[in-house]
Amino acid sequence: MPIGDDELVRLLLREREELYAYCWSILRNDDLAEEVFQDVCALAVQKRDTIQNEQHLAGWFRLAVRNRCKEAARYLATRPILLDDTLLDALDAHWQQWDSAPDTNRLEALRRCIERLNKRGRELLSLRYTDGLKSGEIAKILNCRVESVYMGLMRLHERLRDCIQNHLRETNQPTR
């Protein structure tokens, strides 16, 4: 026989602190732990016909809390981190300087810097950015280790960054 509504509410209220603490121990976030606890309470009310007794409820609740906490943690991991308004204001002021320089200057600098690269460097960039291949695929094509592709791309990025900055400085354009 399923647990009654009165008994379910009484058990949830009695175990509230312990269950909330369980949520918090997983999430380490007060607001999110409370939200998960409330969601699982609402779910318990919806599923009350399948809950047989107090022991069954305790096991069911812990499993439901653990699963909802995992979902919440995954959500937090994919949610962007918002910056403080003071920091955003400082970034805006700095970005205005960049925005004042025409992009054509940066693109022209990039083209010139790519032309200065050796054939292997241009090929690596082309495979990655023109063909859209991943590092593992590039390694197979070039018959080298994936780590070599990573290092090669990192060095190319650094070389291009420095070259572009030098070109923009020489032409009195703002650099990033």
Per-domain residue ranges of the chain: 5-78, 85-170
Q: What is the average per-residue pLDDT within 157-164?
A: 92
Q: What is the average per-residue pLDDT within 20-25?
A: 86
Please tell me whether residue 150 adopts helix, strand or coil conformation. Answer: helix
Q: What is the average per-residue pLDDT within 131-158?
A: 92
Residue 102 has a pLDDT of: 58
The pLDDT > 70 percentage for the chain reads 89
> 101 pLDDT exceeds 60?
no
Residue 99 has a pLDDT of: 59
Other residues' Cβ atoms within 10 Å of the Cβ of residue 137: 15
> 45 pLDDT exceeds 90?
no
Q: Which CATH class is domain 85-170?
A: mainly alpha
Answering whether pTM is above 0.75, one says no
CA distance 65 to 41: 9
Residue 103 has a pLDDT of: 63
User: Which is nearest to 64 in space by CA: 86, 79, 48?
Assistant: 48
Q: What is the average per-residue pLDDT within 49-53?
A: 81
Give every CB contact of residue 162 below 8 A, 6+ residues apart in sequence: none
Residue 136 has a pLDDT of: 92
Q: Do domains 5-78 and 85-170 have the same CATH topology?
A: no
- Going by the DSSP 8-state scheme, the letter that residue 14 receives in this structure is H
- pLDDT band of 94, cuts 50, 70, 90: low
* pLDDT, greater one: 141 or 102: 141
Residue keyed to tokens 């002021």:
93
**What mean pLDDT is reported for the chain?**
84
Among 2.30.30, 1.10.1740, 3.30.465, 1.10.357, name the CATH number for the domain at 5-78: 1.10.1740
Residue 29 has a pLDDT of: 84
Residue 145 has a pLDDT of: 93
Residue 3 has a pLDDT of: 79
